[in-house]
Every structure is written in structure tokens, then in C-alpha cells.
Amino acid sequence: MFAADRVQDLLRRLREDLAALIHSEVELAKAEVIGKVKIHARAAAFVGIAIPFVFLALFAFLFAAIAALALALPWWASGLIVGAVFLLIAVLLALLALRSVRKAGMPTPDEAVAQAKATVDEIKEVRTV
């Protein structure tokens, strides 16, 4: 009777420990994803704040470039040339932004998954011994 009570106690503790372990792994995954999402959100906020200033600067540069080229070419040709240059710059910046987002990766809990796999492997090793 004493051995059966002890086995039941051990099984109860094992169940509680496994539940706590799973809960902590889920919490770690959530914390990791939230951290990555916050970094992306902060970057998006900075871009959102910078956009109006970029537009104002672009309008100023656009007018100055067209006016300077208009000294040698007609106004319409100056506008086309400056517009093409700005379009090229915009494409290059978009490609840089795309590369940056790909480098950062998706907000997935990579560390939590690796730790969970290591825990499972450890449990399997203990079971086989």
C-alpha cells in the first residue's frame, strides 16, 4: 500500500512538473514573439514619422533640380529627368527595406522551440536509462 501511494505521488508530481514545464515554454515563446513584434512596430513607427519629412525634402529637391535643369532644357524635359531619378532612388530604397525585413525574419519563437526540443530530448534520455 505504501509503495502504491508513493508511485501515485510520483506520478502526480510528474504531471504537475510537465504542466509547469509546458506552461513555461509557452510563456517563453510568447515573450520572444512579443519582443520581436515590438521591434518591428518601433521600426514602423519611425518610418511613419519620417515619411512627411521625406516628402517635404523631396518636394524641395524636386523643385530645385527641375529649376536647375530648366536653365539648359525645357521645363517638361527637366521634370521627366528629375522624376526618373527620384523613381530610381525610391526603387533602391524599397529593395533595401525588403532586404532588411527578410534579414530580421519572421517573429517566430526560435529560441523557445530550440529549448523545447532540447527538453524533449533530455526527457527521452532519462526515460531510456
Domain ranges of the chain: 2-128
Q: What is the pLDDT at residue 129?
A: 60
Please state the pTM of the whole predicted model: 0.44
Distance in Å from the first CA to the final CA of the chain: 27
Taking residue 124's Cβ as centre, other Cβ atoms within 10 Å add up to 10
| Per-run averaged pLDDT (10 residues), the chain, 129 residues | 76 87 88 88 91 91 90 93 90 92 78 82 74
Alpha carbon distance 93, 98 (integer Å):
9
How crowded is the C-beta side of 80, counted as CA atoms within 13 Å?
5
| pLDDT, tens only, 86-104 | 899 999 999 999 888 888 7
Q: Which amino acid is at 29?
A: A
Alpha carbon distance 126, 129 (integer Å):
5
DSSP-derived secondary structure letter, 73: S
Q: Judge contact between 28 and 109, C-beta under 8 A.
A: yes
